[in-house]
Amino acid sequence: MSAFENPLPGVPSVESPFFPRIFADGNFDPLTTRIARDLNENGFAVFDFPEAKFDEVAENIKRELTGFFKWDYWKEHQYPKGEGLRIQDAWRTNKNVKRLATNEKIIKLLSDLFGRQAQPFQTLNFPVSTQQHFHTDSIHFSSVPERFMCGVWIALEDISEDAGPLVYYPGSHKWPIYTNEHMDICSAESEERFTQEVYEPMWRELVEMHGVKPKTFTAKKGQCLIWLSNLLHGGLKQNDKNLTRWSQVNHYYFDGCAYYTPMHSDPAYGHIDFRSPTSVLTGKRFKNKYGGHEIAKNVIRTAKSRPRKDSGAPLPLDFDKKLYLQANKDLLEAKVDPVWHYKYYGYKEGRPLKP
């Protein structure tokens, strides 16, 4: 790499105004340079996942995870409503899910692209399409400085148009990041916990105003796609509910930042929903930092503690937290709050209350 000293280390290299100097020919290998240019221009880049035993790894993941899903319930109740299926953080129990998330070549590639050490913090495994409205990850997972987050989507099988492929809007990553203050809304005083639905009309209007056309990714098994945090993306409707669309998404943060959820935060109102996820690489929790200094724990507690009204589905009278986790081993392994999960996901997924 050249001796160019980046005067803006708080901006990801791949989105930096100094991009031409950072990624000048010869500074990185040809593949990294090509991916960097695709990301900078379009917000996404496609290439083959660098895993020599990919077929073996993919088949293991599908075989071990398929039993977690209630297929008949999904086809009858969730599919008609445009909902998907997923397992969060299966890396905790499945070595091959973890293997894809911690792939050394991917970690190095992302670290070179962003100019900071990449850390995987979440995995999502999908057996069918998410059927999810297009959105930006920047309202769900963000950082200070902003944009130090990305996703890597991996096709675990060939994916057809009828299986609800990934959809994305090239160039939308260059738009400003719009959060609660731009929407003139306050999460802390809302009657309900915000979901991305409050943003969806605004995203639709932006797409129409800019005239940007969606692209679909009908991937071949083993292909992957990196997307930047502000790229609009989602999952198309699955036309054939009998098809599968096995994929894995790995989310990455980068060292030296503060991590939070903008959709549930109102910084000027004194309310910040800080995150402290576990690194899939090290097994240790992220430390929130600002300008090279760790943010004090009491600051984080105070910022997170602002009262917030929270509805969600009512709990059944016989709801028992321990029994709910025993009946749903994936939640137990992922250390998910059972009350929160049932109120916002479990009731929709038809999760059993007891073993």
My answer on whether 215 and 325 are in the same domain is no
Is 16 part of a structural domain of the chain? Answer: no
My answer on whether 192 and 334 are in the same domain is no
My answer on whether 335 and 286 are in the same domain is no
* Residue 351, domain extent: 316-355
Per-residue confidence (pLDDT) for residue 52, from 0 to 100: 96
Burial group, residue 80, by CB count within 10 angstroms (0-12, 13-18, 19+): exposed
My answer on whether 245 and 140 are in the same domain is yes
Is 229 part of a structural domain of the chain? Answer: yes
Residues 6+ apart with CB under 8 A from 147: 11, 12, 15, 138, 177, 228, 229, 230
Cα–Cα distance measured from residue 232 to residue 44, given in angstroms and rounded to the nearest whole number: 10
Per-residue confidence (pLDDT) for residue 109, from 0 to 100: 98
CA dihedral 195, 201, 204, 209 (to 10 degrees): -140
What single-letter amino acid sits at 265?
Answer: S
Is 32 part of a structural domain of the chain? Answer: no
Is 213 part of a structural domain of the chain? Answer: yes
My answer on whether 55 and 79 are in the same domain is yes
Per-residue confidence (pLDDT) for residue 350, from 0 to 100: 82
My answer on whether 183 and 68 are in the same domain is yes
Q: CA of 104: how far to CAs of 101, 118, 346, in Å?
A: 9, 10, 34
Per-residue confidence (pLDDT) for residue 337, from 0 to 100: 86
My answer on whether 63 and 199 are in the same domain is yes
Per-residue confidence (pLDDT) for residue 191, from 0 to 100: 77
Question: Burial letters for 152-179: b for 16+ Cβ neighbours within 10 Å, e otherwise?
Answer: bbbbbbebeebbbbbbbbbebbebeebb
Structure tokens at 107: 């970690």
My answer on whether 304 and 335 are in the same domain is no
Tally of CA atoms within 13 A in the half-sphere of 330 that contains its CB: 20
Q: How many structural domains is the chain composed of?
A: 2
My answer on whether 208 and 324 are in the same domain is no
My answer on whether 125 and 200 are in the same domain is yes
Specify the CATH number for the domain of residue 127.
2.60.120.620
My answer on whether 229 and 321 are in the same domain is no
Report whether 272 contacts 304 (CB < 8 A). yes
- The total number of residues shown for the chain amounts to 355
Is 17 part of a structural domain of the chain? Answer: no
Is 37 part of a structural domain of the chain? Answer: no
My answer on whether 169 and 277 are in the same domain is yes
Is 24 part of a structural domain of the chain? Answer: no
**Dihedral sign of CA atoms 118, 123, 129, 132 in order:** negative
How high is the mean pLDDT in each 10-residue block of the chain (355 residues)? 80 97 94 98 98 97 96 94 94 97 98 98 96 96 97 97 96 97 92 89 97 96 98 96 96 98 94 94 95 93 68 80 92 85 82 91
Is 21 part of a structural domain of the chain? Answer: no
Strands (E), the chain: 44-48, 87-88, 118-126, 142-144, 149-155, 166-168, 215-217, 223-228, 233-235, 247-254, 258-260, 289-290, 293-294
Per-residue confidence (pLDDT) for residue 307, from 0 to 100: 53
Per-residue confidence (pLDDT) for residue 1, from 0 to 100: 47
Structure tokens at 3: 């001796």
Q: Which helix (H) or strand (E) holds 110?
A: helix 104-114
- Listed residue (108, 326, 126, 117) closest to 243, CA to CA: 126
DSSP codes of every residue in 227-278: EETT--EEE---S-TTS---EEEEEEEESS-EEE-GGG-BGGGTB--B--PB
Q: What are the backbone dihedrals phi and psi of residue 217, each rounded to the nearest 5 degrees, phi first?
A: -115, 90
Count of Cβ atoms closer than 10 Å to residue 245 Cβ: 28
Report whether 156 contacts 60 (CB < 8 A). no
